[in-house]
Amino acid sequence: MEGRAGFVATFFDADVIANYAPLIAEGFVVTCVLALLVVVTGIALGLALALLRGLGVRLVGWAIVAFADLLRALPPLVLILLVYFGLPALGVPLSSFATVWLVLSLVLAAFAEEIFWAGITAVSKGQWDAARSTGLGHVQALTRVVLPQAVRMTVPPLTNRTIAITKNTALGSVIGVGEILNQATTAQAFSGSATPLMLGAIAYLILFVPVVILGRWIETRFAWRP
């Protein structure tokens, strides 16, 4: 096979598409659910850690910094393998799905905590002064005055980081999570065709291009004249 016909036959083989599209679709659903879970728990945990760090208890602060640095330094795949093969030996068997959810949530939390913290510290000290001088408590000043401004600043870096980490759901294929890439490689092995991998790539685009566009929209939506 040569040229254009060869390209189409390799990546867009109609029979293979018909056979394996349902399998990829199943993977698409798993990836969607997994990504959504990671985003929700990861960002929520990251925000909680940043707020906890904001209380100013030194020991807690150190622990959070250590957690964030450790998880940002380790490759997620190493963590996934470590948890998946390590925890059962400790008597805590986790499914492959739960392992990826847990690890990627922790990694996203580590990055999100640093991003939220940077945002909180970037808010001018005068905002704290104004809030405290009118009688707001520390938590009120943080949640009503400082955090809304910090979150606006964190939207662009947080969106980028969230997309980068949710794409790592593909690492689940290594431990047999039935997500897009796993289904695609399985189908590729059965069919001997690269078409399922192209289907997988298209599935990722369908999932993440709207997320990228949504990120852009949030950025402009949350911008305000300082």
Q: Which residues bind another protein (CB under 8 A)?
A: 124, 126-127, 129-137, 140, 144-145, 148-149, 152, 224-226
Nearest distance in Å: CB 120, another protein: 14
CA dihedral 133, 136, 140, 146 (to 10 degrees): -20
Nearest distance in Å: CB 133, another protein: 4
Q: Which is nearer to another protein, 133 or 220 (CB)?
A: 133
Q: Which is nearer to another protein, 4 or 225 (CB)?
A: 225
Nearest distance in Å: CB 220, another protein: 15
Q: Which is nearer to another protein, 73 or 133 (CB)?
A: 133
Q: Which is nearer to another protein, 34 or 131 (CB)?
A: 131
* Rg from Cα positions in the chain: 22
Nearest distance in Å: CB 214, another protein: 21
Nearest distance in Å: CB 124, another protein: 7
CA dihedral 128, 130, 131, 136 (to 10 degrees): 120
Q: Which is nearer to another protein, 8 or 130 (CB)?
A: 130
- Do 67 and 110 touch, CB atoms closer than 8 A? yes
The torsion region of residue 123 among left (phi > 0), alpha (psi -120 to 50) and beta comes to: beta
Angle at 44 between CA 87 and CA 73, to 5 degrees: 55
- Using CA atoms, how far residue 165 sits from 34, 53, 100, 130, 208, in Å, is 11, 23, 11, 37, 12
